[in-house]
Structure 1
């Protein structure tokens, strides 16, 4: 069997009896730089208000104390956080962990039915949300019989709903502590960090509706150390000016913390590496540029649509951010070669490269190497220390260097499996390996290239979209009798959902010979999905009406046939737009 090992070698020893907050607040390790306790850790973007490590530790303890005494949050109770990024978002995560609870982050743009699904799957005992999301939260909570007094809101300028706020809980927890009412923080036995769950993070896996990935404390800790060792954050390996990570640098916290990339790499790795993190609630490109200048942000953690904006948005000429930005990491979806080279031109002196990972591998599997400031174009980088890979050909044999096949990854950071979903777990987690569903080529110079996606999942702006989920929604439309969703290429989003639908006989009669009626029907179908699904799952690739959905004799969708058809549709649209003088 051919196996590929990280050129970075094995990991140093890491204790397996630590919770994530114990690791983040108090753990010393050769891979971790020593930073003054008074150095800013989390910075609120709008106000510039900074919290140092001591303040973060105190707020975390106060909140945890209140979660235990007011709500009874205890070992393995799930708390869902349904909010954009907030300076108290990480504090909420670590407070949940200190009580022994499990954190589950929900996309703040979810509809009430999508949030209800997550509350159901996780069996959540408490919800922490943004005040602007209260209506959605209340609908979902009611559907799951969660009392309104178990909804807590973050403090924002719009807070004033009458609901208990996080800051009020922090104050209450600290007050209770002074009265001698102190909760007992979770302590783990040797080896227990490998099984005690920290996160239930949602992923579509290789198919189907989102699944709750069961991630223990040890997996997060391991991946943080893997990233730190790979990037030599505490090694004097080159001049100070050329080091990729330096204590005192400033990172951008614009990636959502509910997403595994934002949660582990952007938040935990950045803090562990001695950087301050500027927390941005919602991405707005001009505001993003202003934040870089205002806070002198040096490290950007981005997805490909952000890179497109950095290369093409007209506002770039108004902000001189090149003198601040020293490093750019891109993940969550492939970056086109064209945008990659344009990014190099825009930031000629910055370290720029890609990374690859999954929720199931918690998180990064590869990162571009330190040997050069520029990651190889199209490459996701090198395997991280401690990661082993194999590449499996369609016939089941093992591929060697330069040969294509499906990537399997074995890492001490791998998740345990999917919570309460034995079948899906057995399909993806196989004898210590995670079957990624991505087709790769590993070169002899250790560069890993993702060349195709074997799984059905679409990647829209870095977010996973399961075609089966949208197909089920489409079949709820009264005029749709069958459907198949595939991705259509888009420069900004990577790809967009495009629906091929077969309409009912009644609908055919209604639109017969009328382009206006046909366009109206397509719009109705798109609006149906828009009402029921989060925005990045909307059918922005459009709707195509066809006579039959191609299937094999067993009834399985021949999705590849319609992927080819989607390419033809994209080509036709591009030609039509060019004919009308439209620049794509």
Structure 2
């Protein structure tokens, strides 16, 4: 099926709410929303944002765990013609402040944090308390902060207050704003470590996202009647676009999961009528090893990974009785690139990420940019509608990765004779911990803010549960005594948990290569027995 002629996310929501108003598209266990209700609630949020003087193209950040309120906020941002800036619910204050500054976000909408943490409090520690008419004195672009209902905080408003202000905005004015959004307008700026290390904001457009995730959902066979737990955070491209957006456009019921736990997910599979399940290989390993699933209705599983153990696929197909297991490859800068198909055997699903999706091209090139023969390894280049507009505010970095229309992914792969793409390595140093991209350069920079370290170098180490974890080799500042456990404790308090090094090893000096760069190959050798 071709993507309907919605052109923008606001028009998509209106068309579906008009034709299928009673279809339930959100069920987080507490709040259930039909398409008509989502349209109405998003419209209220949009009117509130307009009352806060949010203009088309302004950036609005949303920070909180997956829940129905996050979904409403996202569609409200899009209805207001603004650009959604998702903040990871795992962020600490330092990380959130950096993203808010780099994107120039004018409004921040927060939910409840994990483990009782209050995001606004975390941000105040990093960016200062209210001052000068601003919710956080150290964030001059951020004009408004919206905190959860019932939370009193100087300089911030509660949702009910914003909705009261929005009630003074005419519905016709808000509707005109929503319908004025164009297909080539930005809908999202998502932070990613990307292909070149440090975090950047990937600019994505309405029309491209609708096309990319309509096609993704078509191959997955996601549709009305499906119940789909969205485990990946909404701040992650997969959770937001292959979860939140795909569910609504296909009239499936998304089940936002705030915190993953294998027992809780197994209970949801048994009792919640789950039909679609997506996540990294570690999720499926934990389901098989740590839970008893029993009878269920899951028919399709999606696993986006460079490789998936064939034995894992066989166990899922045999023990859980799936109709299909799908592997896929994508990246924020390139959207969905390749997917396995319905008739692919286990060996293809395990050893490749399938064939390019319609409208996307893949080339494999050597270090000189020459295309290599089928079966040989090289850097994966991608071209097509899914390639991002660029990195927010960073034209030079954009030019580094998009050349002559081709996105240079930094991944190493090979195309076989049939056209299936296998991802075999990463050209850059990014690694994946529990399904999250981790940039060693970012973690190193954060560690140096702890205060006792002169140098830090992070390398990836295989881990049975997480896939990979980071080990940090650190050199103390002159006169400082470094205690590894205290460094790890600081890291837990100041960075997302998947970035926290599993081990900290204190060394007198870091090894260097002949050209003076830190020799990470030598450091990796120290991680093996």
User: Structure 1 length as normaliser, TM-score?
Assistant: 0.81
Q: 1:303-314 residue pairs with structure 2 within 5 A?
A: 303-313=280-290
Mark the CA change 1:64 to 1:476 in structure 2 (over 3 Å): closer, same or farther. closer
Query: Secondary structure at 2:350's aligned position in 1?
Result: coil
Partner of 2:44: 62
Report whether the alignment pairs 1:358 with 2:331: yes
Report whether the alignment pairs 1:456 with 2:429: yes
Partner of 1:3: none
Query: Secondary structure at 1:376's aligned position in 2?
Result: helix
Mark the CA change 1:530 to 1:43 in structure 2 (over 3 Å): closer, same or farther. closer
Given candidates 342, 359, 370, the residue that maps to 2:342 is 370
Residues 174-211 of structure 1: CA distance to partner in whole angstroms, max 9, x if unpaired? Answer: 57547x7656324458xx523x2111100012233211
Mark the runs of 5 or more structure 2 residues left unpaired by the alignment: 113-117, 128-134
Report whether the alignment pairs 1:264 with 2:241: yes
Given candidates 491, 504, 520, the residue that maps to 1:529 is 491
Residue 505 of structure 1: how far off its partner (Å): 6.2
Query: Hey, what's the Cα distance between the residues in 2 that align with 1:108 and 1:245?
Result: 26
Partner of 1:222: 211
Mark the CA change 1:173 to 1:112 in structure 2 (over 3 Å): closer, same or farther. same
Given candidates 204, 207, 217, the residue that maps to 2:196 is 207
Residues 444-469 of structure 1: CA distance to partner in whole angstroms, max 9, x if unpaired? Answer: 22221111111111211121221112
Query: Hey, what's the Cα distance between the residues in 2 that align with 1:562 and 1:336?
Result: 27
Given candidates 541, 554, 561, the residue that maps to 2:522 is 561
Query: Hey, what's the Cα distance between the residues in 2 that align with 1:428 and 1:352?
Result: 32
Mark the CA change 1:406 to 1:356 in structure 2 (over 3 Å): closer, same or farther. same
Partner of 1:44: 28
Query: Hey, what's the Cα distance between the residues in 2 that align with 1:174 and 1:479?
Result: 52
Report whether the alignment pairs 1:124 with 2:105: yes
State whether residues 45 and 166 of structure 2, in contact with CA within 8 Å, keep that contact through their aligned partners in structure 1.
Answer: yes
Mark the CA change 1:183 to 1:204 in structure 2 (over 3 Å): closer, same or farther. same
Query: Hey, what's the Cα distance between the residues in 1 that align with 2:169 and 2:180?
Result: 25
* Greater relative CO, 1 or 2 (CA 8 Å, sep 6+): 1
Given candidates 403, 424, 435, the residue that maps to 1:430 is 403
Given candidates 447, 455, 466, the residue that maps to 1:474 is 447
Query: Secondary structure at 1:184's aligned position in 2?
Result: helix
Report whether the alignment pairs 1:402 with 2:364: no
Q: 1:75-90 residue pairs with structure 2 within 5 A?
A: 75-90=56-71
CA RMSD of aligned residues (A): 2.8
State whether residues 107 and 142 of structure 2, in contact with CA within 8 Å, keep that contact through their aligned partners in structure 1.
Answer: no
Residue 547 of structure 1: how far off its partner (Å): 4.5
State whether residues 84 and 188 of structure 2, in contact with CA within 8 Å, keep that contact through their aligned partners in structure 1.
Answer: yes
Query: Hey, what's the Cα distance between the residues in 1 that align with 2:271 and 2:159?
Result: 27
User: Structure 2 length as normaliser, TM-score?
Assistant: 0.88
State whether residues 205 and 211 of structure 1, in contact with CA within 8 Å, keep that contact through their aligned partners in structure 2.
Answer: yes
Partner of 1:112: 93
Mark the runs of 5 or more structure 1 residues left unpaired by the alignment: 1-10, 29-33, 232-243, 511-519, 573-584
Given candidates 270, 276, 282, the residue that maps to 1:293 is 270
Residues 402-448 of structure 1: CA distance to partner in whole angstroms, max 9, x if unpaired? Answer: 11111011120211111111222111122222111111111122221
